[in-house]
Amino acid sequence: MTAEQSDQPDQHPVNALDDVVHQRVRLGILTVAHQARRVEFGFLRTALDLTAGNLSQHLSVLEKAGLVHIEKGYEGKRPRTWLTLTPAGDRALREEVAQLKRLIQQIEQGGSDAQA
Amino acid sequence: MTAEQSDQPDQHPVNALDDVVHQRVRLGILTVAHQARRVEFGFLRTALDLTAGNLSQHLSVLEKAGLVHIEKGYEGKRPRTWLTLTPAGDRALREEVAQLKRLIQQIEQGGSDAQA
DNA sequence: GCAGTCAGCTTTGCATTGCAAACTGATCCT
DNA sequence: AGGATCAGTTTGCAATGCAAAGCTGACTGC
């Protein structure tokens, strides 16, 4: 146990996860936005069971990070807010998934007691 | 308050995730603890690239939640802290993995599960 | 043997985050 | 017209997460 690769700061999957993306609610938002091309605020709100205030803030975090595009307009006379994933958002989500898969593999392989 | 059609409380995978387990660092701790039967504090610290203070607090969160058992003692004359997953911790980790898998599947299918 | 140093954590202090209640402004109902 | 409802945003506050400082005991030089 000699050669410590100190130039390898962190090889652990969790260190490759981005907190903006990994956060539970935002991961949900990105997932839904990935599945549907364009999502309504209200749909997200009920699909993820959030308060409007909570959702509103998570959206601005995602927008500020450049992961989603937010589009405000009207449906008839009612104001609406739609959400689309940006290319960066799509990449970020894929990256999250890739790291989660690595993590899951580690968990499922290396157990002292493993059972599916 | 309108008793709306909340008979479908939340079918979305992210709502089944436990924030105690899902948090990035703690997910890492649980993963490492799952792979090795018994982990040293110092090992976790370097493996996950954490400050001691940060690790210390995450461990007490996990302990308070009953997910890990913390054991203090000596190795030779040096004080050491070891960590083991409790059965509940193991179950919680498996549950997290199960939900993550559901989530990943949803993402990778990429279908348009549209709205109105 | 007692100052100084180091290993191994814990505690403290503070900035950020996340949540829901309160608010704004427009539309619908009667 | 006046109230109820929809669609979000802003505000206020509690909880979280982080690193720096602090604490405790062991070993080292003198």
Residue A22: pLDDT band (50, 70, 90) is very high
Mean pLDDT to the nearest integer, A45-55: 94
Residues of A in contact with B108 (CB under 8 A): 97
Lowest mean pLDDT among A66-70, A81-85, B9-13, B20-24: B9-13
Which alpha helices (DSSP H) does A23-80 contain, by range? 24-35, 41-47, 52-64
B59-115 tens-digit pLDDT? 999 999 999 999 998 888 888 999 999 999 999 999 999 999 999 999 998 654 443
Contact at CB, A12 and B47, closer than 8 angstroms: yes
Question: For residues B34 and A116, what is the distance between their CA atoms, to the nearest angstrom?
Answer: 14
Q: Residue A59 corresponds to which tokens in the numbers above?
A: 């959206």
| A6, pLDDT greater than 60 | no
Question: For residues A26 and A15, what is the distance between their CA atoms, to the nearest angstrom?
Answer: 18
Question: For residues A34 and A31, what is the distance between their CA atoms, to the nearest angstrom?
Answer: 5
Say whether the CB atom of B105 is under 7 angstroms from strand C.
no
Question: For residues B34 and A106, what is the distance between their CA atoms, to the nearest angstrom?
Answer: 9
Q: Residue B8 corresponds to which tokens in the numbers above?
A: 């479908």
Contact at CB, B107 and A34, closer than 8 angstroms: yes
Q: Which residue is nearest to nucleotide C9 (CA to C1')?
A: B52
Q: Which helix (H) or strand (E) holds A68?
A: strand A68-75
Q: What is the pLDDT of residue A79?
A: 87
Residue A78: pLDDT band (50, 70, 90) is confident
Q: Which residue is nearest to nucleotide C21 (CA to C1')?
A: A53
Domain boundaries, chain B: 13-104
- Which has the higher per-residue pLDDT, A76 or A107? A107
Fold of A15-102: Arc Repressor Mutant, subunit A (1.10.10)
| B17, pLDDT greater than 70 | yes
User: Closest by alpha carbon to B48, among A111, A17, A113?
Assistant: A17
| B116, pLDDT greater than 90 | no
Q: What is the pLDDT of residue B11?
A: 80
| B32, pLDDT greater than 80 | yes
Question: For residues B108 and B97, what is the distance between their CA atoms, to the nearest angstrom?
Answer: 16
Q: Which helix (H) or strand (E) holds B42?
A: helix B41-47
Q: Which helix (H) or strand (E) holds A87?
A: helix A87-109
Q: Cβ distance B29 to B50 under 8 Å?
A: no
Q: What CATH number does domain B13-104 carry, 3.20.20.100, 1.10.10.10, 3.40.50.880, 3.40.50.300?
A: 1.10.10.10
User: Closest by alpha carbon to B62, among B47, B83, B80?
Assistant: B83
